[in-house]
Chains A and B, each alone.
Chain A
Amino acid sequence: MANDLLREVQEHSLARAPLLGLPPTSKALLRALRSRLTEASNSGEILNPLGDVLSQVTFRPPPTDISAAANAAGGRKDVQYIFGGDKNQARVRDRRHFERPDGAWFDFAITLSESKAGLELLAFDFEIRFSTDAAVPFIRFDLNLAGHANEAREMRCHVHPGSDEIQVPSPLMSPLEILELFIVQLRPTRVGRAPTGFEIDWHRAYLQRHAPVPAASPAVVPEDGAAPQDLGETDVPAGEGEVDGGVES
Protein backbone atom coordinates (compact mmCIF):
# COMPACT_ATOMS: atom_id res chain seq x y z
CA MET A 1 0.00 0.00 0.00
CA ALA A 2 2.74 2.38 0.99
CA ASN A 3 4.63 1.54 -2.17
CA ASP A 4 1.51 2.12 -4.25
CA LEU A 5 1.10 5.55 -2.75
CA LEU A 6 4.74 6.41 -3.29
CA ARG A 7 4.52 5.10 -6.85
CA GLU A 8 1.77 7.61 -7.50
CA VAL A 9 3.97 10.34 -6.07
CA GLN A 10 6.84 9.24 -8.27
CA GLU A 11 4.69 9.02 -11.38
CA HIS A 12 3.31 12.45 -10.68
CA SER A 13 6.82 13.79 -10.29
CA LEU A 14 8.31 12.17 -13.38
CA ALA A 15 5.27 13.10 -15.46
CA ARG A 16 6.57 16.63 -15.26
CA ALA A 17 9.50 15.72 -17.53
CA PRO A 18 7.88 16.93 -20.79
CA LEU A 19 6.86 20.17 -19.08
CA LEU A 20 10.30 21.18 -17.87
CA GLY A 21 10.97 23.37 -20.88
CA LEU A 22 14.49 22.05 -21.34
CA PRO A 23 16.56 23.70 -24.05
CA PRO A 24 16.74 21.59 -27.22
CA THR A 25 20.42 20.65 -26.94
CA SER A 26 23.02 20.08 -24.26
CA LYS A 27 24.96 23.04 -25.61
CA ALA A 28 21.89 25.22 -25.21
CA LEU A 29 21.43 23.97 -21.64
CA LEU A 30 25.10 24.66 -20.97
CA ARG A 31 24.62 28.20 -22.27
CA ALA A 32 21.50 28.74 -20.19
CA LEU A 33 23.24 27.56 -17.02
CA ARG A 34 26.23 29.76 -17.75
CA SER A 35 24.02 32.67 -18.60
CA ARG A 36 22.21 32.48 -15.25
CA LEU A 37 25.48 32.10 -13.36
CA THR A 38 26.92 35.05 -15.31
CA GLU A 39 23.97 37.15 -14.21
CA ALA A 40 24.54 35.97 -10.66
CA SER A 41 28.21 36.87 -10.88
CA ASN A 42 27.42 40.30 -12.28
CA SER A 43 24.78 41.01 -9.64
CA GLY A 44 26.79 39.70 -6.70
CA GLU A 45 24.40 36.83 -6.04
CA ILE A 46 27.48 34.60 -6.21
CA LEU A 47 31.02 35.61 -5.34
CA ASN A 48 32.68 33.85 -8.26
CA PRO A 49 34.21 35.99 -10.98
CA LEU A 50 33.02 35.55 -14.54
CA GLY A 51 36.03 33.42 -15.40
CA ASP A 52 34.83 30.76 -12.96
CA VAL A 53 31.54 30.49 -14.83
CA LEU A 54 33.36 29.75 -18.07
CA SER A 55 35.92 27.38 -16.61
CA GLN A 56 33.73 25.54 -14.10
CA VAL A 57 30.64 24.88 -16.20
CA THR A 58 31.69 22.59 -19.01
CA PHE A 59 30.36 19.55 -20.73
CA ARG A 60 31.57 16.17 -21.90
CA PRO A 61 30.14 15.32 -25.30
CA PRO A 62 29.56 11.74 -26.41
CA PRO A 63 32.79 9.98 -27.42
CA THR A 64 33.77 10.63 -31.01
CA ASP A 65 34.95 7.05 -31.20
CA ILE A 66 31.61 5.31 -31.15
CA SER A 67 32.96 1.84 -31.73
CA ALA A 68 32.59 0.93 -28.07
CA ALA A 69 29.08 2.28 -28.01
CA ALA A 70 28.20 0.49 -31.22
CA ASN A 71 29.20 -2.79 -29.62
CA ALA A 72 26.70 -2.39 -26.85
CA ALA A 73 23.43 -3.65 -28.24
CA GLY A 74 20.63 -1.36 -27.20
CA GLY A 75 22.99 0.97 -25.45
CA ARG A 76 22.77 4.70 -25.65
CA LYS A 77 25.05 6.47 -28.11
CA ASP A 78 24.18 9.97 -27.10
CA VAL A 79 24.94 10.27 -23.40
CA GLN A 80 26.83 13.28 -22.17
CA TYR A 81 27.03 15.40 -19.11
CA ILE A 82 27.37 18.94 -17.89
CA PHE A 83 29.02 19.77 -14.63
CA GLY A 84 29.45 22.87 -12.55
CA GLY A 85 32.35 22.79 -10.15
CA ASP A 86 34.58 19.90 -9.18
CA LYS A 87 33.36 16.54 -7.97
CA ASN A 88 33.36 16.95 -4.23
CA GLN A 89 31.98 14.00 -2.34
CA ALA A 90 34.20 14.85 0.64
CA ARG A 91 32.68 18.35 0.75
CA VAL A 92 35.99 20.18 1.00
CA ARG A 93 36.08 23.84 0.12
CA ASP A 94 39.32 23.72 -1.83
CA ARG A 95 37.52 22.07 -4.72
CA ARG A 96 36.09 24.46 -7.27
CA HIS A 97 32.51 25.45 -6.58
CA PHE A 98 30.11 28.38 -6.66
CA GLU A 99 29.64 30.41 -3.53
CA ARG A 100 27.02 32.85 -2.30
CA PRO A 101 27.79 35.84 -0.12
CA ASP A 102 26.05 34.16 2.83
CA GLY A 103 28.59 31.34 2.77
CA ALA A 104 26.45 28.74 1.02
CA TRP A 105 28.34 26.94 -1.74
CA PHE A 106 27.27 24.49 -4.39
CA ASP A 107 28.18 22.34 -7.36
CA PHE A 108 26.28 20.09 -9.73
CA ALA A 109 26.52 17.37 -12.35
CA ILE A 110 23.92 16.49 -14.98
CA THR A 111 23.89 13.37 -17.12
CA LEU A 112 21.66 13.69 -20.14
CA SER A 113 20.83 12.30 -23.51
CA GLU A 114 20.49 14.42 -26.62
CA SER A 115 18.59 13.20 -29.62
CA LYS A 116 16.38 14.54 -32.36
CA ALA A 117 13.52 14.28 -29.90
CA GLY A 118 15.30 16.72 -27.62
CA LEU A 119 17.08 16.54 -24.31
CA GLU A 120 16.32 13.89 -21.72
CA LEU A 121 17.52 14.13 -18.17
CA LEU A 122 19.02 10.78 -17.20
CA ALA A 123 20.40 11.74 -13.82
CA PHE A 124 21.63 14.69 -11.84
CA ASP A 125 22.91 15.70 -8.49
CA PHE A 126 22.83 19.28 -7.25
CA GLU A 127 24.26 19.84 -3.80
CA ILE A 128 24.34 23.03 -1.77
CA ARG A 129 26.14 23.33 1.57
CA PHE A 130 25.19 25.98 4.08
CA SER A 131 26.69 28.05 6.83
CA THR A 132 25.48 27.22 10.33
CA ASP A 133 22.77 29.88 9.91
CA ALA A 134 20.82 27.25 8.05
CA ALA A 135 21.05 24.63 10.83
CA VAL A 136 21.32 21.96 8.16
CA PRO A 137 24.71 21.18 6.62
CA PHE A 138 23.62 20.50 3.06
CA ILE A 139 20.73 19.68 0.76
CA ARG A 140 21.14 17.54 -2.34
CA PHE A 141 18.66 17.10 -5.15
CA ASP A 142 19.16 13.78 -6.92
CA LEU A 143 17.62 12.26 -9.98
CA ASN A 144 18.83 8.69 -10.07
CA LEU A 145 19.33 6.72 -13.23
CA ALA A 146 16.28 4.70 -14.17
CA GLY A 147 16.29 1.19 -12.82
CA HIS A 148 17.96 1.97 -9.54
CA ALA A 149 16.70 0.26 -6.43
CA ASN A 150 15.37 3.63 -5.35
CA GLU A 151 12.98 3.55 -8.22
CA ALA A 152 11.51 0.35 -6.83
CA ARG A 153 11.15 2.30 -3.62
CA GLU A 154 9.58 5.09 -5.66
CA MET A 155 12.42 7.42 -4.88
CA ARG A 156 14.14 8.02 -8.19
CA CYS A 157 13.70 11.75 -7.73
CA HIS A 158 14.54 12.74 -4.20
CA VAL A 159 16.15 15.21 -1.83
CA HIS A 160 18.76 14.50 0.82
CA PRO A 161 17.86 16.93 3.61
CA GLY A 162 21.26 17.24 5.25
CA SER A 163 22.06 13.56 5.31
CA ASP A 164 23.34 11.17 2.69
CA GLU A 165 21.28 8.46 4.33
CA ILE A 166 17.84 10.10 4.33
CA GLN A 167 15.85 10.58 1.14
CA VAL A 168 12.62 12.47 0.68
CA PRO A 169 10.58 12.31 -2.54
CA SER A 170 10.87 15.49 -4.53
CA PRO A 171 9.29 17.00 -7.63
CA LEU A 172 11.26 16.64 -10.82
CA MET A 173 12.78 20.04 -11.53
CA SER A 174 14.83 21.23 -14.44
CA PRO A 175 18.51 22.03 -13.85
CA LEU A 176 17.70 25.70 -14.36
CA GLU A 177 14.99 25.58 -11.70
CA ILE A 178 17.30 23.96 -9.17
CA LEU A 179 20.05 26.43 -10.02
CA GLU A 180 17.59 29.23 -9.32
CA LEU A 181 16.78 27.64 -5.99
CA PHE A 182 20.46 27.52 -5.16
CA ILE A 183 21.24 31.07 -6.21
CA VAL A 184 18.18 32.76 -4.77
CA GLN A 185 15.71 30.74 -2.81
CA LEU A 186 17.33 28.14 -0.59
CA ARG A 187 18.34 30.12 2.44
CA PRO A 188 17.15 30.40 6.02
CA THR A 189 13.83 32.18 6.27
CA ARG A 190 14.82 33.41 9.74
CA VAL A 191 18.45 33.90 10.71
CA GLY A 192 19.14 33.74 14.39
CA ARG A 193 16.19 31.62 15.43
CA ALA A 194 17.10 29.88 18.64
CA PRO A 195 17.26 26.14 18.12
CA THR A 196 15.07 24.00 20.30
CA GLY A 197 16.54 21.90 23.01
CA PHE A 198 15.83 18.89 20.89
CA GLU A 199 18.03 20.25 18.09
CA ILE A 200 20.85 21.21 20.44
CA ASP A 201 20.88 17.84 22.14
CA TRP A 202 20.53 16.06 18.83
CA HIS A 203 23.57 17.82 17.41
CA ARG A 204 25.53 17.22 20.59
CA ALA A 205 24.74 13.53 20.53
CA TYR A 206 25.55 13.33 16.84
CA LEU A 207 28.95 14.92 17.36
CA GLN A 208 29.62 12.76 20.39
CA ARG A 209 29.02 9.71 18.27
CA HIS A 210 30.96 10.77 15.18
CA ALA A 211 33.52 13.29 16.41
CA PRO A 212 33.78 12.88 20.17
CA VAL A 213 35.69 15.47 22.14
CA PRO A 214 38.87 13.88 23.54
CA ALA A 215 38.55 12.94 27.20
CA ALA A 216 41.60 15.01 28.13
CA SER A 217 39.97 18.15 26.84
CA PRO A 218 40.29 20.71 29.68
CA ALA A 219 37.21 22.22 31.20
CA VAL A 220 36.79 25.96 30.98
CA VAL A 221 37.92 27.49 34.28
CA PRO A 222 36.59 30.98 34.94
CA GLU A 223 39.22 33.52 35.96
CA ASP A 224 37.46 34.16 39.26
CA GLY A 225 38.26 30.65 40.39
CA ALA A 226 34.65 29.52 40.41
CA ALA A 227 33.80 25.94 39.57
CA PRO A 228 34.45 24.92 35.96
CA GLN A 229 31.49 25.28 33.65
CA ASP A 230 29.89 22.08 32.56
CA LEU A 231 29.52 22.51 28.84
CA GLY A 232 27.43 19.39 28.66
CA GLU A 233 24.31 21.02 29.97
CA THR A 234 21.85 23.24 28.27
CA ASP A 235 19.05 25.32 29.52
CA VAL A 236 16.33 23.13 28.16
CA PRO A 237 12.93 22.55 29.66
CA ALA A 238 12.49 19.08 31.08
CA GLY A 239 11.35 16.58 28.54
CA GLU A 240 12.31 18.69 25.50
CA GLY A 241 15.96 17.82 25.33
CA GLU A 242 15.80 14.12 24.79
CA VAL A 243 17.57 12.73 21.82
CA ASP A 244 15.35 10.75 19.54
CA GLY A 245 17.13 7.46 19.26
CA GLY A 246 15.51 6.78 15.92
CA VAL A 247 16.91 9.80 14.15
CA GLU A 248 20.05 8.13 12.94
CA SER A 249 18.50 4.90 11.82
Chain B
Amino acid sequence: MSGLIRVGAAEVAVRLQALSAATNTFVAIIAPVLLVELVVDEIVEELRCRFPATRSVPDDGSVQPLLAAVRDNPLTPLVARGDRFGAGEWATLDRRRSSLEREGVTVFVATEASFAELARSAPNLASLFGANVFAFDPQAEETTAAQGAQRLEALRVGSGRSDQDIIDAAEARTLPSDPEYGEWLVLLGRGDLLGGE
Protein backbone atom coordinates (compact mmCIF):
# COMPACT_ATOMS: atom_id res chain seq x y z
CA MET B 1 0.00 0.00 0.00
CA SER B 2 3.04 2.26 0.12
CA GLY B 3 2.33 3.53 -3.40
CA LEU B 4 -1.04 5.00 -2.48
CA ILE B 5 -1.63 8.73 -2.50
CA ARG B 6 -1.70 9.97 1.07
CA VAL B 7 -4.60 12.26 1.89
CA GLY B 8 -6.11 14.03 4.88
CA ALA B 9 -9.82 14.29 5.57
CA ALA B 10 -10.09 17.66 3.81
CA GLU B 11 -8.54 16.32 0.64
CA VAL B 12 -10.84 13.29 0.77
CA ALA B 13 -13.78 15.68 0.85
CA VAL B 14 -12.44 17.71 -2.06
CA ARG B 15 -11.87 14.56 -4.10
CA LEU B 16 -15.32 13.24 -3.27
CA GLN B 17 -16.87 16.53 -4.28
CA ALA B 18 -15.20 16.13 -7.65
CA LEU B 19 -16.47 12.56 -7.86
CA SER B 20 -19.98 13.28 -6.63
CA ALA B 21 -21.36 13.95 -10.10
CA ALA B 22 -20.73 10.33 -11.03
CA THR B 23 -22.98 7.51 -9.87
CA ASN B 24 -21.95 4.30 -8.17
CA THR B 25 -18.73 5.76 -6.81
CA PHE B 26 -16.79 3.78 -4.22
CA VAL B 27 -13.78 5.12 -2.36
CA ALA B 28 -11.51 3.29 0.04
CA ILE B 29 -9.41 5.01 2.69
CA ILE B 30 -6.72 2.82 4.20
CA ALA B 31 -5.98 3.74 7.80
CA PRO B 32 -3.92 2.30 10.65
CA VAL B 33 -5.89 -0.12 12.82
CA LEU B 34 -6.01 2.18 15.82
CA LEU B 35 -7.18 5.17 13.82
CA VAL B 36 -10.10 3.70 11.90
CA GLU B 37 -12.83 5.07 14.16
CA LEU B 38 -11.14 8.48 14.29
CA VAL B 39 -10.75 8.55 10.51
CA VAL B 40 -14.42 7.75 10.01
CA ASP B 41 -15.36 10.64 12.29
CA GLU B 42 -12.94 13.01 10.58
CA ILE B 43 -14.15 12.17 7.11
CA VAL B 44 -17.80 12.42 8.11
CA GLU B 45 -17.22 15.85 9.69
CA GLU B 46 -15.26 17.07 6.71
CA LEU B 47 -17.82 15.78 4.24
CA ARG B 48 -20.61 17.45 6.18
CA CYS B 49 -19.03 20.82 5.35
CA ARG B 50 -19.88 20.09 1.72
CA PHE B 51 -22.63 17.47 2.00
CA PRO B 52 -24.50 18.22 5.24
CA ALA B 53 -26.53 15.01 5.03
CA THR B 54 -23.44 12.76 5.11
CA ARG B 55 -23.95 9.76 7.39
CA SER B 56 -21.67 7.26 9.01
CA VAL B 57 -22.90 3.68 8.83
CA PRO B 58 -23.44 2.00 12.21
CA ASP B 59 -20.86 -0.70 12.76
CA ASP B 60 -21.72 -4.08 14.27
CA GLY B 61 -19.20 -6.08 12.27
CA SER B 62 -21.83 -7.34 9.85
CA VAL B 63 -22.89 -6.09 6.42
CA GLN B 64 -26.52 -5.55 7.38
CA PRO B 65 -26.22 -1.93 8.59
CA LEU B 66 -24.41 -1.04 5.37
CA LEU B 67 -27.03 -2.66 3.16
CA ALA B 68 -29.79 -0.95 5.12
CA ALA B 69 -28.08 2.44 4.94
CA VAL B 70 -27.59 2.09 1.19
CA ARG B 71 -31.22 1.13 0.74
CA ASP B 72 -32.49 4.03 2.83
CA ASN B 73 -30.11 6.71 1.54
CA PRO B 74 -29.80 6.53 -2.22
CA LEU B 75 -28.25 9.98 -2.58
CA THR B 76 -26.45 10.63 0.69
CA PRO B 77 -22.69 10.15 1.01
CA LEU B 78 -22.09 7.23 3.35
CA VAL B 79 -18.95 6.46 5.33
CA ALA B 80 -18.64 2.85 6.46
CA ARG B 81 -16.10 0.92 8.46
CA GLY B 82 -14.70 -2.02 6.58
CA ASP B 83 -11.97 -2.92 9.01
CA ARG B 84 -13.99 -5.59 10.77
CA PHE B 85 -15.18 -7.30 7.62
CA GLY B 86 -13.60 -10.68 6.97
CA ALA B 87 -13.70 -12.93 3.94
CA GLY B 88 -17.33 -13.86 4.57
CA GLU B 89 -18.60 -10.30 4.80
CA TRP B 90 -16.69 -9.16 1.74
CA ALA B 91 -17.91 -12.17 -0.24
CA THR B 92 -21.48 -11.34 0.74
CA LEU B 93 -21.06 -7.77 -0.45
CA ASP B 94 -19.49 -9.04 -3.65
CA ARG B 95 -22.55 -11.18 -4.38
CA ARG B 96 -24.88 -8.33 -3.49
CA ARG B 97 -22.87 -5.59 -5.12
CA SER B 98 -25.85 -4.54 -7.24
CA SER B 99 -27.58 -3.70 -3.94
CA LEU B 100 -24.76 -1.24 -3.22
CA GLU B 101 -25.24 0.68 -6.43
CA ARG B 102 -26.49 4.19 -5.79
CA GLU B 103 -26.00 7.81 -6.74
CA GLY B 104 -24.34 8.85 -3.50
CA VAL B 105 -20.67 8.22 -2.83
CA THR B 106 -19.80 5.29 -0.57
CA VAL B 107 -16.59 5.53 1.42
CA PHE B 108 -15.07 2.50 3.10
CA VAL B 109 -12.47 3.09 5.78
CA ALA B 110 -10.44 -0.08 6.00
CA THR B 111 -7.14 -1.31 7.28
CA GLU B 112 -4.48 -2.59 4.96
CA ALA B 113 -5.32 -6.17 5.97
CA SER B 114 -9.07 -5.79 5.53
CA PHE B 115 -8.64 -4.16 2.14
CA ALA B 116 -6.34 -6.98 1.06
CA GLU B 117 -9.08 -9.40 2.11
CA LEU B 118 -11.56 -7.39 0.07
CA ALA B 119 -9.35 -7.77 -3.00
CA ARG B 120 -9.17 -11.55 -2.44
CA SER B 121 -12.77 -12.26 -1.48
CA ALA B 122 -14.66 -9.63 -3.43
CA PRO B 123 -12.84 -9.06 -6.73
CA ASN B 124 -15.92 -7.66 -8.45
CA LEU B 125 -16.55 -5.15 -5.70
CA ALA B 126 -12.85 -4.31 -5.58
CA SER B 127 -12.90 -3.41 -9.24
CA LEU B 128 -15.52 -0.74 -8.53
CA PHE B 129 -13.01 1.24 -6.47
CA GLY B 130 -10.72 1.72 -9.45
CA ALA B 131 -8.14 4.34 -8.61
CA ASN B 132 -10.14 5.68 -5.67
CA VAL B 133 -8.02 4.03 -3.01
CA PHE B 134 -6.04 6.33 -0.73
CA ALA B 135 -3.92 6.09 2.39
CA PHE B 136 -4.98 8.32 5.26
CA ASP B 137 -2.38 10.83 6.39
CA PRO B 138 -3.09 11.94 9.96
CA GLN B 139 -0.64 14.84 9.66
CA ALA B 140 -2.06 16.20 6.42
CA GLU B 141 -3.96 19.00 8.13
CA GLU B 142 -1.05 20.10 10.22
CA THR B 143 1.48 22.82 9.74
CA THR B 144 4.45 21.29 7.99
CA ALA B 145 7.94 21.57 9.42
CA ALA B 146 8.87 23.91 6.57
CA GLN B 147 5.86 26.14 7.23
CA GLY B 148 6.69 26.23 10.92
CA ALA B 149 10.30 27.10 10.18
CA GLN B 150 9.23 29.90 7.85
CA ARG B 151 6.99 31.39 10.47
CA LEU B 152 9.59 31.14 13.20
CA GLU B 153 12.16 32.85 11.01
CA ALA B 154 9.67 35.59 10.13
CA LEU B 155 8.99 36.12 13.82
CA ARG B 156 12.72 36.29 14.64
CA VAL B 157 13.43 38.76 11.85
CA GLY B 158 10.35 40.83 12.60
CA SER B 159 11.18 41.26 16.27
CA GLY B 160 14.96 40.93 16.29
CA ARG B 161 14.62 38.45 19.15
CA SER B 162 15.70 34.83 19.52
CA ASP B 163 13.64 31.78 20.47
CA GLN B 164 15.43 31.50 23.81
CA ASP B 165 14.82 35.17 24.49
CA ILE B 166 11.10 34.58 23.99
CA ILE B 167 11.07 31.54 26.26
CA ASP B 168 13.04 33.39 28.94
CA ALA B 169 10.70 36.37 28.77
CA ALA B 170 7.64 34.12 28.94
CA GLU B 171 9.02 32.30 31.98
CA ALA B 172 9.76 35.64 33.61
CA ARG B 173 6.24 36.80 32.66
CA THR B 174 7.69 39.83 30.90
CA LEU B 175 6.78 38.79 27.39
CA PRO B 176 4.57 41.27 25.57
CA SER B 177 1.32 39.62 24.67
CA ASP B 178 0.99 40.71 21.08
CA PRO B 179 -0.66 37.87 19.18
CA GLU B 180 2.51 36.73 17.45
CA TYR B 181 4.17 35.84 20.75
CA GLY B 182 1.48 33.25 21.42
CA GLU B 183 2.03 31.78 18.00
CA TRP B 184 5.80 31.86 18.56
CA LEU B 185 5.54 29.87 21.79
CA VAL B 186 3.19 27.32 20.21
CA LEU B 187 5.60 26.86 17.31
CA LEU B 188 8.37 26.21 19.83
CA GLY B 189 6.17 23.63 21.53
CA ARG B 190 5.88 25.86 24.59
CA GLY B 191 2.27 26.93 24.46
CA ASP B 192 2.21 25.94 28.12
CA LEU B 193 3.98 29.22 28.89
CA LEU B 194 0.98 31.23 27.83
CA GLY B 195 -0.26 31.18 31.39
CA GLY B 196 -2.75 29.09 33.25
CA GLU B 197 -6.33 29.41 34.26
Contact A124:B194 (CB < 8 A) given known A34-B49, A63-B189, A83-B151 = no
Q: Contacting A54 at CB < 8 Å: which of B11, B45, B196?
A: B11
> Chain A: interface residue count, which band?
35 or more
The docked-state distance in angstroms from the alpha carbon of A16 to that of B16 is: 37
Which A residues are CB-close (under 8 A) to B151? 83, 86-87
Within 8 A of B (CB), among A168-212: none
Please state if B179 and A144 are interface contacts (CB–CB under 8 Å): yes
The docked-state distance in angstroms from the alpha carbon of A148 to that of B143 is: 27
Q: Which 6 A-B pairs have the closest CB atoms?
A: A79-B191, A148-B177, A74-B196, A145-B177, A75-B192, A69-B192
B148 CB-CB contact with A under 8 Å: yes
Please state if A86 and B147 are interface contacts (CB–CB under 8 Å): yes
A-B contact pairs, 9 of them (CB 8 A): A60-B143, A69-B192, A76-B196, A87-B180, A87-B183, A145-B181, A146-B177, A147-B195, A149-B176
Q: How many of chain B's residues have a CB under 8 angstroms from any CB in A?
A: 42
The docked-state distance in angstroms from the alpha carbon of A35 to that of B50 is: 8
Please state if A145 and B194 are interface contacts (CB–CB under 8 Å): yes
**How many A-B contacts are there with CB distance less than 8 Å?**
143
B158 CB-CB contact with A under 8 Å: yes
Interface SS majority for chain A = mixed
Please state if A109 and B183 are interface contacts (CB–CB under 8 Å): yes
A119 CB-CB contact with B under 8 Å: no
The docked-state distance in angstroms from the alpha carbon of A144 to that of B151 is: 18
Contact A123:B49 (CB < 8 A) given known A87-B151, A144-B177 = no
Contact A58:B177 (CB < 8 A) given known A28-B45, A32-B49, A81-B186 = no
Interface SS majority for chain B = helix
Which residue of A has the minimal Cβ distance to B185? Answer: A79
Chain B 16-40 interface mask (CB, 8 Å, partner A; 1/0): 0000000000000000000000000
Please state if B182 and A89 are interface contacts (CB–CB under 8 Å): no
B164 CB-CB contact with A under 8 Å: no
Q: Contacting A145 at CB < 8 Å: which of B11, B147, B182?
A: B182
Chain B: residues with CB nearer than 8 A to chain A?
A: 8, 10-11, 14, 42, 45-46, 49-50, 141-144, 147-148, 150-151, 154-155, 157-158, 173, 176-183, 185-187, 189-197
Please state if B182 and A79 are interface contacts (CB–CB under 8 Å): yes
Q: Contacting B186 at CB < 8 Å: which of A89, A111, A147, A149?
A: A111
Chain A 57-85 interface mask (CB, 8 Å, partner B; 1/0): 01111110100110011111111110100
Please state if B194 and A60 are interface contacts (CB–CB under 8 Å): no
Within 8 A of B (CB), among A118-136: 122-125
Which B residues are CB-close (under 8 A) to A145? 177-179, 181-182, 194-195
Which B residues are CB-close (under 8 A) to A89? 154-155, 157-158, 180
Within 8 A of B (CB), among A213-247: none
Contact A58:B142 (CB < 8 A) given known A69-B191, A89-B154, A148-B176 = yes
- Which of A62, A76, A109 has the largest count of B CB atoms less than 10 A from its CB? A76
